[in-house]
Amino acid sequence: MKKTQVAVIGGGPGGYVAAFKAADLGLDVTLIDEEAHPGGVCLYRGCIPSKALLHIAKLLNEARAAEKWGVKFAAPELDLDRLRAWKDEVVAKMTGGLGQLVKARKLNHIQGRARFVAASTLYIDEADGDKSQLQFDYAILATGSRPAVPGVFRIESERIVDSTGALALTDVPGSLLVVGGGIIGMELGQVYAALGSRVSVVEMLPGLIPPADRDLVKPLLNKVAERFDEIMLNTQVTNLQEGADGLTVELKTPAGSTESKTYDKILLSVGRVPNSEDIGLEHTAISIDERNYVQVDGQMRTAESSIFAIGDLVGAALAHTASHQGALVAEIIAGHDKLVFEPNAIPNVVYTDPEIAWCGLTEEEAKKEGRAVKVARFPWAASGRATTQDTNDGVTKLLIDPDTDRILGVGITGSGAGELIAEGVLAVEMAALATDLQHSIHPHPTLSETVMEAAEVHYGLSPHLYSPTRS
């Protein structure tokens, strides 16, 4: 039987970072993953290919909008084969790079599927057909998640796709129903709208991007209202039939009535479920909750003290969160046993047009908690840089403790919000005060100075926006 100090099960952003960090700290590491190179869903079928397609969508939309700026382009011609090839080239380049880093670190990488047969032993079905067992001192579970499929959509049809199928870009349907108005649905909905599909969205909740504050979502809602055929909120799909003309859905409207509509294709984006099944947890003391998430403590340690779990498996459904957890666990195993996972600001980014990003406390959370906050907003209509880019619909806002002036949360909507939010993360984590942002010189003209100007709004001292001086 083979032995290793640290067995990492899953090669996504959490798993490979954990493996690399553990190796860098001098530990003997074995990484087990079903792919030939690390990367996981994020790199192969998620974050990276979707951003490649979103870049294309942005290019197409800007080309169409350029006429009002005095630049006119001919109608774009799409070559789906070349577009897919370019997306695949991006993925191959990055996964290949990770493969080289595996070799450089002299990691033991096993392509296969692992499951526990005891609290310290894994059984591995290797990709080449071999079977093996691996004994470990510590294990890090990073098996990720998969798209959720509600019962009504569990029919065999090539017309129903999840995010993986949508990113394969096999065709551009004439009409597309996006089920779920969350991050994945809105990102891919915008991609297909830019490529030429008539996109409709159905969301059972009253708003798009439910976790975000409504004022941050409003500019996006206004934009997609122009680009999408229909946005149906407070609406559910209650039945589904496939016919020669496409997929016919029965929709329950907010008024309680039902109506039927037919679409060429359906994109299912209603969340994800953890891959905690069929990995042998029953042979360990590891516990899962009612939603099948693995239970861990502040160090990401399971009830089996030698086994840790990170990422989607524990409900941390963001690649950067999983990576942070993976690095933390590697350090704990290496002997830094006082460390705990306790971030004050985890950034969330929606890579739509416009982008939405937030970190720390949200306004909705503050209301639910009954927590007093001051909210300072700087509209991008007053930003010179935003005006030059024709992105005046953006907003930057700060949530500030009224007693201490500490920055508790930051929200940004607009071009490049995903890049700008890093300053907000640093401000929240470092317990910065609004005056710290106010007195930090930001370059002009930039979108980053909207963060400084939001702090100036808090004090009633913004030179580009009149607001009464705070008492």
φ, ψ for residue 233, nearest 5 deg: -95, 160
- Please count the residues of the chain: 471
Q: Residue 354 has which token pair?
A: 């416009």
What does the alpha-carbon distance between residue 421 and residue 176 come to, in Å, rounded to a whole number? 32
3-state SS, 176-222, equals EEEECCCHHHHHHHHHHHHHCCEEEEECCCCCCCCCCCHHHHHHHHH
What is the rounded distance in angstroms from the CA atom of residue 10 to the CA atom of residue 309?
A: 11
Rounded Cα–Cα distance for residues 270 and 429 (Å):
31
The Cβ of residue 3 has, within 10 Å, a number of other Cβ atoms equal to: 14
Q: Is 37 a catalytic residue?
A: no
Contact at 8 Å (CB) between 287 and 296? no
Closest to 173 (Cα-Cα) out of 153, 198, 201, 202: 198
What is the spatial distance between Cα 368 and Cα 376, in angstroms, rounded to a whole number? 19
Q: Rounded to the nearest 5°, which phi and psi values hold at 379?
A: -75, 140
Of 324, 444, 458, 464, the catalytic one is 444
Active site residues: 444
